[in-house]
Amino acid sequence: MVRGHEGTGDNQVLIYDAVDWYVQNESDHEPDRATLARWELWRNNQQHCKEYDDVVQMMRQLRMLGPPSQPARSELIADLGKD
């Protein structure tokens, strides 16, 4: 999963990688042996664990939020008049 992300610092790359792994782990796709080996190697790093755990915690918090409120009809109509 580790990919180059141009223009980002090391910490930002860790966050992107943690999010990538989270999405992979939450998918219905069955990982192959090579992916599992990369996951184990990546997860063995303490900083990676921290970033991944932070992503998991963030997703739990997001799920607890309610849906956003819908705009009023008048707001939608007003938006139609704007370019």
d(CA 81, CA 83): 7
Q: Cα Rg for the chain, rounded, in angstroms?
A: 19
pTM value > 0.75: no
Asked whether residue 5 is domain-assigned, the answer is: no
Q: Which pLDDT belongs to residue 25?
A: 94
Q: Structural domain of residue 57, as residue ranges?
A: 10-80
Asked whether residue 2 is domain-assigned, the answer is: no
Asked whether residue 3 is domain-assigned, the answer is: no
Give pLDDT tens digits for 17-63: 999 999 999 999 999 999 999 999 999 999 999 999 999 999 999 99
Q: What's the domain count of the chain?
A: 1
Q: Which pLDDT belongs to residue 13?
A: 79
Asked whether residue 4 is domain-assigned, the answer is: no
Asked whether residue 1 is domain-assigned, the answer is: no
Asked whether residue 39 is domain-assigned, the answer is: yes
